[in-house]
């Protein structure tokens, strides 16, 4: 009754072609488990038929298949050393920049259900409070947060987290300061939510409409992609960074072998990447779309 | 709108309640199919989605599903199976009996949210409710 | 029906069981365990503080059980439902451990790709001192995992 090798191959190549995600060997059960419902509901007797349908009738069915096949696991302050780097090095640098620049722009490029961009927003506010007088106002910061999964984006926008989601990495002091209890859930406070704009966006597409950024987080997503796609995305990330910009990737990831356009800098135990020959000119710093 | 969780495990019912409340939905609970029908008698008009286990003592999930799909008013309420039974034959059986979604345990919170939102519609009650 | 004699099926089940344990603890309890070893014993014999058992029936017969001490059981259940361990009572623990056994066994079935097997409702045991014995058809394989230096065991009897 299990999925055949041919069916698996069809679905796998479809998912890869449209999202860049590589469904690993031995993940047949994942395909079967997540897509059988769509198969039956669309009147298909096997995944080959579903694949045929996908080719001729893309639109909503395609989105459903991609949504079902993406995993958006995430944590607050994912990876301790990265968030040390963020609070002790990156946030202070961005705050300094905000004194000189009209806007400082951050992009969380695979934001999942929002923990990552909200964590950044909280740390920026935290840093601002530590700075005391002379700290730039929060309005100077603009955080764009995108993900391919519409349901993840929806969750992120709702900004409500269960006790369970909160227990995954949220610090008590931050919970008190940045959340309001609403029934059984916790809701991110408006001043933090205001900083973040969410959009669905596929990293396979062109980045040009987003403008350029002072800091980009592209963490724990390229791991699902093929080498070729990794190369393309690193190059697009390079193009989207300001000259002094910084790129953060997942703790287990490395751009080595895909690009040599970045210099590695160790901050608070985490590797951060800076564009070698300067990203975009500083003049376009604020050319990015306002909200 | 509310959700109804029909599951003999209080652990799972609590996990589902937590997820529901995150999205702004109250979650009603039942331990088996019989109790589920009782809840529906009372409050079917406010239930937007039923999350249904398969194996339960008393009336099991499949019997409950086929029963409500024959009922004049209950039949319109979408049902999502939430069960450890992940075999393709089970999935097909449930979908043919009218289940709108099928989630196998273990499920990640994000997966469940995605399916709930698909059924309840995005931009529904979740946001700012 | 007797135990599972087919070697490749047994090994598919054990591999599936291991993957299922890791998967369930990661997605439902948000924790990871390290594999500590595997042993084979004649019968299922449980004596840790908490246990959950699920019976397999149909084309293949057997039993899958988990066992651990009470603090680990509490910790896992508290992570699954997202409430502090202090707020849990014995019923919560019983239900949580039973559900864990249920999911682990279900996950094993899915990952090993076997059909035609029904799972019983889980049985859970919590107690300071007990022994439980089940005469296995063939033998019992025990997979041990460590969670913060404490043991979490999975017993596969078929
Ligand atoms: C494991 S999560 C990482 C979340 C977060 N960055 C972190 O590190 O905690 C991976 C995310 O990448 C998203 N994703 C997968 N393919 C994508 C694509 N082609 N474009 C944009 N996002 C994608 C998934 O929807 C998922 O939310």
Distance from CA of C13 to the nearest CA of A (A): 14
What pLDDT was estimated at residue A71? 66
Split at pLDDT 50, 70, 90, the class of B21 is: confident
Residue A45 CB burial class (10 angstroms; 0-12, 13-18, ≥19): exposed
Distance from CA of B122 to the nearest CA of C (A): 24
Of A151, A157, A162, the CB nearest to B118: A151
Query: Is A279's pLDDT higher than 80?
Result: no
Q: Which residues of chain C have pLDDT under 50?
A: 1
Predicted confidence (pLDDT) per residue in A90-137, tens digit: 999 999 999 999 999 999 999 998 999 999 999 999 999 999 888 999
Return the CATH architecture of domain A80-290.
3-Layer(aba) Sandwich (3.40)
The segment with the largest mean pLDDT, out of A10-14, A39-43, B21-25, B35-39, is: B35-39
Q: B88 and A1: CB-CB below 8 Å?
A: yes
Chains A, B: CB pairs < 8 Å = 92
Residue whose CA lies nearest to ligand 1 atom number 17:
A148
| CA A219 – CA A270 distance, rounded (Å) | 13
DSSP letter for each residue of chain C: ------HHHHHHHHHHHHHHHHHHHHHTT----EEEEEEEESSEEE-SSEEEEEEEEESS-EEEEEEE-HHHHHHHHHHHHTS-GGG--HHHHHHHHHHHHHHHHHHHHHHHT--SEEEPPPEEEE-SS--EEE--SS-EEEEEEEETTEEEEEEEE-
What pLDDT was estimated at residue A184? 66
Residue A71 in contact with partner chain C when CB distance is under 8 A: no
What pLDDT was estimated at residue A284? 39
Q: Walk me through the domains of chain C, giving residue ranges and CATH numbers.
A: 7-157 (3.40.1550.10)
Residues A163, A30, B2, A151, CA torsion sign: positive
Q: What residue in C sits closest to B111 (Cα-Cα)? A: C27
Average the pLDDT over each of A33-37, A68-72, A210-214, A248-252 and give the range with the smallest value. Answer: A68-72
Q: B21 and A41: CB-CB below 8 Å?
A: no
| CA C87 – CA C72 distance, rounded (Å) | 15
User: Ligand 1 pocket test: which of A147, A153, A206 has the largest number of ligand atoms within 8 Å of its C-beta?
Assistant: A147
ipTM: 0.86
Confirm or reject: Cβ of A74 under 6 Å from ligand 1: yes
The overall average pLDDT reported for chain C is 88
Q: In which residue ranges of chain A is CATH 1.10.155.10 found?
A: 5-69
Query: Which one of B16, B21, B84 would you mutate to disrupt binding with C, by most C Cβ within 10 Å of its Cβ?
Result: B84
Give mean pLDDT, residues B84-109: 89
Residue A115 in contact with partner chain B when CB distance is under 8 A: no
Residue B89 in contact with partner chain C when CB distance is under 8 A: yes
Q: In which residue ranges of chain A is CATH 3.40.50.150 found?
A: 80-290
- CATH number of B2-106, picked from 3.40.50.2300, 3.40.190.10, 3.40.228.10, 3.40.920.10: 3.40.50.2300
- C91 CB neighbours in chain B (<8 A) are 10
Confirm or reject: Cβ of A220 under 6 Å from ligand 1: yes
Is pLDDT larger for residue B32 or for residue A159? B32
- Counting from 1 in the atom list of ligand 1, the atom nearest the Cα of A21 is 16
DSSP letter for each residue of A206-252: --GGG--EEEEEE-SSGGGB-HHHHHHHHHHHHHHEEEEEEEEE-TT
Confirm or reject: Cβ of A116 under 6 Å from ligand 1: yes
Q: Above pLDDT 70, what percent of chain B? A: 93
Of B21, B86, B88, the CB nearest to A162: B21
- The model's pTM is 0.75
Torsion angles phi and psi, residue C45, rounded to 5? -135, 115
Confirm or reject: Cβ of A78 under 6 Å from ligand 1: yes
Cα A108 to middle of ligand 1, angstroms: 10
Q: C80 and B15: CB-CB below 8 Å?
A: yes
Return the CATH architecture of domain A5-69.
Orthogonal Bundle (1.10)
A35 with A47: CB under 8 angstroms? yes
């Amino acid at each position: 009754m299990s999925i055949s090798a041919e069916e698996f191959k069809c679905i796998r190549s479809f998912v890869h072609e449209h999202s860049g995600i590589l469904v690993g060997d031995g993940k047949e059960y994942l395909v079967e488990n997540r897509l059988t419902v769509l198969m039956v509901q669309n009147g298909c007797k096997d995944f080959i038929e579903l694949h045929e349908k996908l080719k001729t009738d893309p639109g909503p069915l395609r989105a459903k298949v991609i949504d079902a096949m993406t995993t958006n696991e995430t944590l607050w302050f994912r990876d301790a050393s990265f968030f040390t780097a963020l609070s002790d090095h990156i946030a202070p640098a961005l705050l300094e920049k905000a004194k000189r620049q009209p806007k400082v722009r951050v992009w969380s490029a695979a934001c999942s259900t929002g923990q990552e961009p909200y964590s950044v927003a909280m740390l920026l506010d935290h840093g601002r409070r530590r700075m005391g007088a002379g700290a730039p106002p929060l309005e100077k910061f603009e955080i764009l947060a995108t993900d391919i999964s519409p349901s993840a984006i929806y969750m992120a926008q709702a900004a409500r987290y269960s006790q369970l989601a909160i227990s995954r990495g949220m610090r008590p002091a931050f919970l008190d300061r940045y959340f309001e209890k609403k029934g059984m859930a916790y809701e991110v406070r408006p001043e933090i939510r205001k900083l973040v704009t969410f959009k669905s966006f596929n990293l396979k597409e062109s980045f040009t409409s987003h403008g350029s950024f002072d800091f980009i987080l592209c963490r724990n997503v390229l791991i699902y992609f093929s080498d070729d796609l990794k190369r393309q995305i690193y190059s697009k990330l390079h193009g989207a960074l300001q000259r002094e910009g910084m790129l953060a990737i997942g703790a287990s990831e490395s751009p080595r072998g895909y690009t040599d356009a970045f210099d590695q800098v160790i901050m608070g135990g985490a590797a951060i990447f800076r564009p070698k020959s300067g990203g975009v000119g500083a003049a376009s710093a604020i050319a990015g779309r306002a909200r | 709108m509310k959700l109804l969780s029909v599951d003999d495990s209080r652990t799972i019912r609590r996990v589902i309640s937590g997820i529901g409340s995150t999205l702004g939905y109250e979650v009603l609970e039942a331990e088996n199919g019989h109790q589920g029908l009782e809840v529906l008698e009372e409050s079917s008009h406010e239930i937007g989605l039923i999350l249904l286990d398969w194996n339960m003592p008393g009336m099991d999930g499949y019997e409950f599903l086929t029963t409500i799909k024959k009922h004049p008013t209950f039949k319109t309420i979408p049902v999502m199976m939430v069960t450890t039974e992940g075999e393709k034959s089970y999935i097909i059986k449930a979908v043919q009996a009218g289940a709108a979604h099928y989630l196998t345990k273990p499920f990640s919170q994000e997966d469940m949210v995605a399916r709930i939102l698909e059924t309840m519609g995005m931009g529904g009650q979740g946001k700012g409710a | 029906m007797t135990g599972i004699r087919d070697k490749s099926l047994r090994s598919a089940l054990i591999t599936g069981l291991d993957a299922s344990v890791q998967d369930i603890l990661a997605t439902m309890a948000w924790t990871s365990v390290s594999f500590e070893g595997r042993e084979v014993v004649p019968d299922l014999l449980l004596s840790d503080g908490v246990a959950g058992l699920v019976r397999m029936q149909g084309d293949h017969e057997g039993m899958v059980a988990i066992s651990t001490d009470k603090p680990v059981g509490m910790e896992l259940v508290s992570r699954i439902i997202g409430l502090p361990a202090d707020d849990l009572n014995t019923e919560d623990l019983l239900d949580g451990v039973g559900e864990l056994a249920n999911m682990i066994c279900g996950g094993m079935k899915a990952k090993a790709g076997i059909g035609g097997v029904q799972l019983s409702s889980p049985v859970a045991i919590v107690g300071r001192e007990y022994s439980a014995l089940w005469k296995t058809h063939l033998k019992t394989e025990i997979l041990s995992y460590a969670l913060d230096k404490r043991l979490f065991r999975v017993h596969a009897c078929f």
